[in-house]
Structure 1
Amino acid sequence: MSISISAIRREREGPMGPRRNPMFRTMLAVAVLLTAIPNLASAQSKPKGARVAVNGMQMYYEVSGKGAPLIVLHGAYMNIPSMGAIIPKLAKTHQVYALEFQGHGRTTDIDRPITYPHLADDVAAFMDAVGLKKADVFGYSMGAAAALQLAIRHPAKVDKLAVASASYDLEGLQPEFKEFIPHMKVEMFLEMPFAKEYRKLAANPDGFPELVRKLIALEKEPMAWGEQVKAMKTPVLVIVGDADVSTLEHSVSLFRLLGGGGPGDIGKPLSASRLAVLPASSHTAVITQVDLLHAFIEPFLKGVTPKGMFAAQ
């Protein structure tokens, strides 16, 4: 890491001070994560990427593996390498299309806000551009919310959907995070290690401040998708850390809106959607647990359901 955590702490304590500002500590954790994650996949051979014209931008993507198509969507401030080893792991059994969103990684930015509907429409346009009529989708964090919007806005394009650390309503965020959103400033992010990492891949190396401005605005965008989620027919795997940015109650609510949470073993079929809670896992720790994530995602995408004691053998 090119900048020590102590230096960042001295420079970016925030309005509440380092001890009283839990979200500043979260930002430091994100900085460490986004600097370290690329090393998780360093031993893997890197697939060749390409760019395609999507809604006025040049969207970068990589294709790897063979099998049924699976689109992978990264989180805010991330890119394909920072998603780590989950991509090559999934590529062992799927043809993975890993995308980089507007202004992220090697994808160009355009004069347009970053919103979840925009991100979802970009994925849909990407699928049209590369000839993908339908695919499974795995999204993390911002990519998970974009994936939910993709299934809401373009349901015919999504077969099964796995979302890790997803939110569908701002009221479901942890209180500490909601309280911190109004205090977010571009300057808080400019000395973070991932600000320098951004320059290594970016189509515009000087575009990081503008990306931060758009992502802060995204945090303030209205989000109340309960009725839209309830109307979804797409099977969804909801993955959440037990110390995630969203509350556990919010994730359970999302699962119930999707038709999950009813009793098994009483003759009724289980919901097509599923819920997985990762223990001792913060928001940034979710994406690092590759084997555990894969153990949840792969059976879901293949339609494998554990048999209960009373199931027919």
Structure 2
Amino acid sequence: MYYEVSGKGDPLIVLHGAYMNIPTMGAIIPKLAKTHRVYALEFQGHGRTTDIDRPITYPHLADDIAAFMDAVGLKKADVFGYSMGAAAGLQFAIRHPEKVNKLAAASVAYDVEGWQPEFKEFIPQPFAKDYRKLAANPEGFPELVRKLIALEKEPMAWGEQVKSLKTPVLIITGDADVSTLEHSVALFRLLGGGGAGDMGKPLSPSRLAVLPATSHTAVITQTELLHAFIEPFLKGITPKGMFEAP
């Protein structure tokens, strides 16, 4: 598994989306590295990480993250994942909760029914040219496509597992993302969010952020806005209501 380490501070693992790699995550990695020790990973068959004779599934990806942490001596870390990386991060928090402090998940779903219909039919041929630039096997793209199409059709029904999570989760979604807005709200409610503030009860440790006029691929390009959501969440900073003591 290929990875890069940058920055200083509390450990933060960054997980890319399907057909992506560390460079295509853009400026959010160096931005986060200003205040965190960032461990950016490349998943099975992506970037410079070789493919192996194994399906790509969310449990496999989650266990790979856990194995990576053991290999580099990380006992616990925050996690930021985008798209496939967000779903892998969610499954990681389900399967290895003792290894996760907080999870920021951008463009995520916990059930296959949460994906937009158009997303289920998408075949990502535009990524083929970029794949060759970094891949250990430049001819491996068709096999990666086969595995990732299978991943998109993998049964996902994690509602009960999500409801049992103790890990705080920041859900980030575009208002025109590949997961529906209704699904993101349902995920937030499963995590204990969506209640009324200012009524004497503490806010949920999980949060929901919706980026306006934002498609799926535009989520990761809005570095400043993403960072403005992620950094306060990881630091535990909560906006003060007018009824709270200063």
Give the TM-score band, short-chain normalised. Answer: over 0.9
SS in 2 for 1:206: coil
Corresponding position of 1:78: 20
1:108 aligns with 2:50: yes
Per the TM alignment, residue 176 of structure 1 is displaced from its structure 2 partner at its CA by: 3.1
Corresponding position of 2:109: 167
Per the TM alignment, residue 108 of structure 1 is displaced from its structure 2 partner at its CA by: 0.7
1:139 aligns with 2:81: yes
Distance 1:214 1:177 in 2: 16
1:93 aligns with 2:35: yes
Distance 1:77 1:285 in 2: 16
Corresponding position of 2:220: 287
Corresponding position of 1:243: 176
**Greater CA radius of gyration, 1 or 2?**
1
Distance 1:196 1:284 in 2: 18
Which of structure 1's runs of 4+ aligned residues deviate more than 6 A?
none
Distance 1:215 1:247 in 2: 20
Unaligned stretches of 5+ in structure 1?
Answer: 1-58
Corresponding position of 2:230: 297
Q: Which amino acid aligns with 1:254?
A: L
Q: 1:205 aligns with which of 102, 119, 138?
A: 138
SS in 1 for 2:2: strand
SS in 1 for 2:40: strand
1:222 aligns with 2:164: no
Q: Which has the higher contact order (CA 8 A, sep 6+)?
A: 2
Q: Per-residue displacement from partner, 1:270-305 (whole Å, max 9, x unpaired)?
A: 000000000000011000000000000000000000
Distance 2:45 2:112 in 1: 24
Give TM-score, length-normalised by structure 2: 0.98
Q: Which amino acid aligns with 2:233?
A: F
Per the TM alignment, residue 76 of structure 1 is displaced from its structure 2 partner at its CA by: 0.2
Per the TM alignment, residue 196 of structure 1 is displaced from its structure 2 partner at its CA by: 1.6
Q: 2:91 aligns with which of 124, 132, 149?
A: 149
- Number of positions where the alignment pairs a residue of Structure 1 with one of Structure 2: 246
Q: Which amino acid aligns with 1:298?
A: E
Q: 1:121 aligns with which of 63, 69, 86?
A: 63
Distance 1:108 1:171 in 2: 31
Per the TM alignment, residue 177 of structure 1 is displaced from its structure 2 partner at its CA by: 3.0
Calculate the aligned-residue CA RMSD, in Å. 0.9
Distance 1:66 1:121 in 2: 25
